[in-house]
Amino acid sequence: MESFDFIEIPETTQRSSCETCERPARTCWCDHIANPKVKLTRTQIVIIQHPNERKRAIRTAKMLENGLENCHIFVRRKVKDLNKEDEKLRHWLEHPGAHVLFPQEDAKTPEDLVKNDNLAKIVLIVLDGTWDEAKKMYNWSPILQSLPKMKLELNVKSLYVVKTQPNDKCLSTVECVAHAVAQLEENPALVEVLTRPLLALCSIQISHGAVKHDSKEFKKDISEFQKDNFRKQ
């Protein structure tokens, strides 16, 4: 999954932007989006996106919006009062199957939710932003805090190699959702289908001079190892 050799990058001299992914035409990843869009049978994805994320050039929630039929994005810093909220967002937050994807100790796993016969549909609320922004969004949103939580228990390394993550277990939004729906829909193939645009993005960025990034945790471990090694010499 970490090989980038298989992705063909279309050559173009145009400087125009793609209207779908909002990327410059020469770095467009739309050819790698599922076509037709993936239609989930029991899961609805609702992404609450921090306003800062909307401005970032290499955000990944757009990949989900373009590749999933069952996906909606709402731009918010916090969700405090349902009565003042957009009718569509309020509908999903009030849904009996609503769960926030958040790594809380008592959170349910996808397997737990699949086994729950009372849940005909699962509405997965996903916070999109940096890790610090996502935590603030959650802490500032009493509505989100009141909803049941779902967590992922994974042992995978992020494919988002052109961005520095806090640690090796931190995944991008598209990766989190891909793994979540693969388990909720009991369809492991969805991981590859939904993360393919991310692989394309990283391949394109690297071909234009970007370098692979190690996590902050990895860099810290290496630094401490080098210091210990130096002391022993």
Task: Encode pLDDT of 66-117 as tens digits.
Answer: 999 999 999 999 998 888 888 999 999 999 999 999 999 999 999 999 999 8
pLDDT exceeds cutoff 60 at 233: no
> Is 194's pLDDT higher than 80?
yes
Q: What is the mean pLDDT of residues 173-182?
A: 97
Q: Is the pLDDT at 129 greater than 60, yes or no?
A: yes
pLDDT at residue 3 greater than cutoff 60? no
pLDDT at 162: 82
Average of per-residue pLDDT across 19-41: 92
Task: State the pLDDT at residue 15.
Answer: 63
How many Cα neighbours within 13 Å face the side chain of 75? Answer: 6
State the alpha helices, DSSP H only, in 35-141: 51-54, 61-67, 87-93, 110-115, 131-139
Note the pLDDT of residue 29.
Answer: 92
Task: Report which DSSP code applies to 51.
Answer: H
Tell me how far apart the alpha carbons of residues 102 and 184 are, in angstroms, rounded to a whole number.
Answer: 15
Rounded to whole angstroms, the Cα distance separating 60 from 10 reads 20
Higher per-residue pLDDT: 29 or 209: 29
At residue 35, the pLDDT reads 94
Tokens of 144: 């989100």
pLDDT at 229: 46
CA nearest to 144, candidates 60, 50, 53, 54: 50
